[in-house]
Amino acid sequence: MSGFAFDRDGVLSYVALGDSFSEGLSDPYPDSAETPHGHFRGWADRLAERLADEVRELRYANLAVRGRLARQIVTEQVPRAEQLQPDLVTLAAGGNDILRPGGDPDQIATIVDQGISRLRATGAHVVLFTGIDPEFQPVMRPLRGKIAVYNMHLRAIADAHDCSVVDLWAMRVLGDARAWSWDRLHHSSEGHRRIALRVCEVLGVDPGADWREPWPESPQVAWADARRADARWAREFLVPWIGRRLTGRSSGDGVSPKRPDLAPLRVSG
């Protein structure tokens, strides 16, 4: 991989593609108010904020939409990224496909490979993300083998197209429940913060902090409290999620990208 280089005195353009992971779900902005570009921040916004400190001007677009499958990302978002002609693209895709019954990591990888080929043809530097290791999540643990196979495909794609890889599987700090929101599928604000630090590291940008920092000690959760949390999770998230899968609906129905155009990033506070 040749690495990512940029002119610190120039303009850098960055486009984020993907699903809820890149949209930033479960990481609200600190004031919890609706911003001109949406309520959620996420690792991609955090990365853009850090990059903005490194260059004269950072132009940023985020085309990610929750619930999107790999084919939707390639057919809906990649063409727009081709039009924008950015210097840097991050693409995280395939997670929603893997979660679905019958999701084939071989087929998903073929779709993603097609998208990466198109993005690299524009001259953009592309960053890919492996899937996380779900060993710590009992409900997701049966998918561990499929995710591992898909990760190997992603590494082969990255090698073939000279892309960077953010290895989420190796980020053991994400195995802590505090890296996840209550729905156990999207990252918490702290999880997003640590991922942004890791992406900076992969790109050769000083992250300003260490994503490996150990979690502070936490009190032991009583068995009864843990079971009540499980019941709430099943009632408020798992059942509705299954219902959407059975009816062909998506959490992203009617949702538009929060930053559809490349625009200068204004960092406040």
Residue 241 above 70 pLDDT?
A: no
More confidently predicted of 223 and 61: 61
- Measured from the Cβ of residue 244, the count of other Cβ atoms closer than 10 Å reads 13
Measured between alpha carbons, how far is 133 from 171 in angstroms, rounded to an integer? 9
Instruction: Tell me if residue 62 falls in helix, strand or coil.
Output: strand
**CATH architecture assigned to 11-211+256-264:** 3-Layer(aba) Sandwich (3.40)
More confidently predicted of 197 and 249: 197
* Beta-strand pair 259-264/57-62: antiparallel
pTM: 0.89
Average per-residue pLDDT for the chain = 89
Round to the nearest angstrom and report the end-to-end CA distance of the chain.
35
Q: Are 220 and 23 in contact (CB under 8 A)?
A: no
Q: What is the mean pLDDT of residues 97-126?
A: 95
Q: What is the mean pLDDT of residues 75-86?
A: 98
Q: What is the mean pLDDT of residues 175-198?
A: 92
Q: For position 29, what pLDDT does the model report? A: 84
Q: For position 269, what pLDDT does the model report? A: 46
- Measured from the Cβ of residue 123, the count of other Cβ atoms closer than 10 Å reads 9
Q: For position 76, what pLDDT does the model report? A: 97
